[in-house]
Amino acid sequence: MIEFKNVSKTYPNGVKGLKNVNLTIDQGEFVAIIGLSGAGKSTLIRTINRMIDITEGQLIVDGVDVMTLHGKSMRRFRRKIGMIFQSFNLVTRSTAIKNVLTSMVPDMGFFRVLLGLFTREQKMKALEALDKVGILDKAYTRCDQLSGGQQQRVALARTLNQSPSIILADEPVAALDPVTAHQVMSDFKRINEEMNISVLINIHHVDLALKYASRVIGIRAGEIVYDGPSSQVTQAVLDSIYNGASVPQAGE
Amino acid sequence: MANKNKLLTDRPLSIEEAYEARPRLWWIYTLIVLIVFSLLAWSGTAVKFEGFASKGIEVAKGVGNGLIHPDTNLLFNLTTEGVPYQLFQTVAIAVLGTLIGGLLAVPFSFLASDKIVPKWIAFITNAVILIIRTIPSLVWALVWIRVTGPNAFCGVVTQSVCSIGMISKMYITAIEDIDVRILESLDASGCTTFQKIRYGILPQIIPNFISTVIYRFDINVKDATTLGIVGAGGIGAALIQCINSSRWSMVGAYLCGMVVLMLFIEFFSTKIRNKLTRGQ
Amino acid sequence: MAKKKEAAYRVPLFDRIFKPETITLPNGHAVQRPRSRTPLIAAILIAVVWASIQLTGFDIGIIIRRGHQFTYILNRIFHPNFSYFTKVIGPLLDTIKMSILGSVLGATLALPFAVVASTNINKNGLVVSLCRFLLNIIRTLPTLVIAKFAALIFGLGTFAGTVAITVFTFGVVSKMMYEAIETIDMGAFEAMESAGGDKFQSFRTACFPQILPTYLSYCLYSLEMNIRAAAILGYVGAGGLGLLINERIGWRDYEGLGMVLLALFVVVFIIENTSQYLRRKLS
């Protein structure tokens, strides 16, 4: 469970990323976060695994106040939260399986890390993760030989391989064509349903958000302007999120 | 420049006005042409063609003949005089020279980046790299000969030193080109700094470093063929002896061997480097 | 179509000798893991290095025992004999002149050859391959060997050096240029041809402006290299600083050598920085 309690984020240059956000996201939800560029979507997602520090309020993830974490405890905390990026962030010169295996590195001893020695069980687990996203046959192919959609699936497999309870995805389909975007989104949906992993996605494509997510959060200038089931998102709601017309909050 | 006139009037420009408002860069072009031509005229003063040397035409004929009829006996002779042995020795010099140079260049490239070390250390390292690069390899060889004596080992030492300059320069570029977004994702999965370097940075730079070393190997093989001229081993010594004594068919044999070797090495090094950096 | 491509893809020799391992997951799905190439590559590398050590008489002991000799010479080089400067000026200017003239001549000659050797302009495959083969051979010849021949044919002096620099520049710039020409946008060229231009006219108006900055940048780059290359040509009698370098080392006058190298260093530094500044402006 993720709880935002009066959370605000002010950047050092004075820009307000988040303004007094209150949210509760239960385990196993599929949440799409929509809004204009710069509205605070990325900030919201990145505060959850503390890639960005919040400046006010309290953020509790699975019973842990994230601002109390540091060093080793923070790294251990991050193991439970997978993150997916718009630009895939793979080592493109390594094979798919090597990229997936990197997510196990934090749990390994110094010399195994240094020499890159992975056990047979780890390799099998990585292959299973690749199988779950349907690209087992590309396991030993270098990532620069894969298409954008395949690369994003490798990234997804890498995240699954760390057995997370939450997956954060920052614009995961922005660099993909529409057909591939649908495939990747349905991968997320499947993972969400089959493995009961919470999925939080920042997304620009409203149609994709409404189709795959069960809950939509609309954010404008750092404030939550809509929070409710995707079925209740109307044109008026979208106008308020994207154009600033005021619409009463739906939901809860 | 063309916009200057436009700002003064609100109405569209007439054709004459547009023409008048054309950018006038003729004086820059004239200046460039003048500089280039005066440089050329100046350099022309040193170069006077005084006709062919007394034996010039004979030499040209001899080289041509030698290339058409190389000494096949020498070309396939397996003793130390033969072309194959000489070529292997040339390659051997380049292999060791490049390898050692490539290893020595690693600390140099890190010490030359002012993001990693204090500015004054980076400055000194860069100055040393510049000096190494400026002094021609032949001069290095002539100096090292005083230490090692005139043999192939001298060639190895020379190339180890000479290669540092260029290789570390290319290493630095590779280090600067690292995709740091990967570090972000490793960060998000809870990696320590050491783990981020091992799995985020090394897999990216190692193919680049190897590719650089292979590229320099290409250059070093070519360079090693001339080091023999000063006595630092390799095919050059035998070649220059044959040229000096006008044994053109032997010259032809050595040249043929060199050309084939160079084409062969360039073909494979390009292939391997493409595989390393582009994966195909 | 994808299937056809897969069928046409040849299994590498390595994977045919060392058959890939099949890994089966608990759920029955299987994947082929190609055998690691690392052991084979490592074995080859070790063999090559061992052979190289044998062939070159590699002996690190010599460096340890006689290394002081090197630092002694280096020390003397770093105390240049400034009074020798007056003797350096002449050959230094010769070196600069040789490299400027050689660069300009070589780069000018290279342009038409590069156009003929680029596949997107010249559709005649035979001519392209022939041209490239010739260029490849020219590039494999070491500058010093070319200079030696030139000195024998045209007599000792700067003319031979200029010829060597020209040939060397020609080889390098042609190759870089045909690679550059092949990456240009051919749309404008087609537009010119469809408007009734012949190949030369179309190239001149549509392609030339595209490659001009690259071309000039390569010319400057080759000038940078040529200054350094020209400095040693004198060693085989082709004029310039090389003659002095040879002479100073022969007489063990390392302070004089230091002066020659210092002069070269300053010139290279100035030319490299000017050229790099201009190249940045060009791009």
pLDDT tens digit sequence for A163-199? 899 999 998 888 888 888 888 899 899 989 888 899 9
Range of the domain at B27: 3-44
CA angle B260, B265, B270 (to 5 degrees): 130
Task: Name the residue of chain A whose CA is nearest to C34's CA.
Answer: A140
- Residues 93-112 on C with a CB inside 8 Å of B are 93-94, 96-98, 100-101, 104
Does residue B208 surpass a pLDDT of 50? yes
**C42 assigned to some structural domain:** yes
Q: What is the pLDDT of residue C3?
A: 44
pTM assigned to the model: 0.81
Task: Check A131 against C32: CB less than 8 A apart.
Answer: no
Contact C97 B93 (CB under 8 A): no
- What 3-state class would DSSP assign to A60? strand
ipTM: 0.82
B171 and B264 both lie in a single domain: yes
- Buried b / exposed e over B232-266, threshold 16 CB at 10 Å, is bbbbbbbbbebbeeebbbbbbbbbbbbbebbeebb
How many contacts, defined by CB atoms under 8 Å, are there between A and C? 23
The pLDDT value recorded for residue B99 is 95
Neighbours of A223 (CB within 10 A): 15
Are C150 and C187 part of one and the same domain?
yes
Per residue of chain C (283 residues), what is the pLDDT tens digit?
Answer: 344 444 456 677 788 888 888 888 888 888 888 888 888 999 999 999 999 999 888 888 888 888 888 888 888 988 888 888 888 898 899 899 999 999 999 999 999 999 889 888 888 889 999 999 999 889 888 888 899 888 888 888 888 899 999 999 999 999 999 988 888 878 788 887 777 777 778 888 888 888 888 899 999 989 988 998 888 888 888 888 888 888 888 888 889 999 999 999 999 889 988 988 888 888 7
Here the tokens at position A147 are 């298409």
What mean pLDDT, rounded, does chain C reach?
Answer: 86
Question: Are residue C212 and residue C265 in the same domain, yes or no?
Answer: yes
Q: Would you say residue C65 lies in a domain?
A: no
Q: Is A9 within 8 Å of A55 (Cβ atoms)?
A: yes
Q: With a CB-CB cutoff of 8 Å, which residues 8-67 of chain C face chain B?
A: 48-49, 51-59, 62-63, 66-67
Interval B238-269: pLDDT, tens: 888 888 888 888 888 988 899 999 999 989 99
Same domain (yes/no): B61, B38: no
pLDDT tens per residue across span A73-119? 888 888 889 888 888 888 888 888 988 988 888 888 888 888 888 88
Q: For chain B, what is the domain count?
A: 2
Task: Indicate whether C116 and C11 sit together in one domain.
Answer: no
Domain presence at residue C82: yes
> Looking at the predicted structure, is the pLDDT value of residue B81 above 60?
yes
Q: Is residue B197 part of a domain?
A: yes
Q: Is C12 in the same domain as C81?
A: no
Do B37 and B145 belong to one domain?
Answer: no
**B181 and B264 inside one domain:** yes
What's the domain range around C149?
Answer: 75-282
Looking at the fold, whether B10 and B140 belong to one and the same domain comes out as no
CB-CB under 8 Å, C257 with B56: no
| One domain, residues B83 and B103 | yes
Of all residues in chain B, the one with the smallest CA distance to C229 is B136
Q: Do residues B30 and B62 share a domain?
A: no
CA C207, CA C192: separation in Å to the nearest integer?
10
Q: What is the CA radius of gyration of chain A?
A: 18
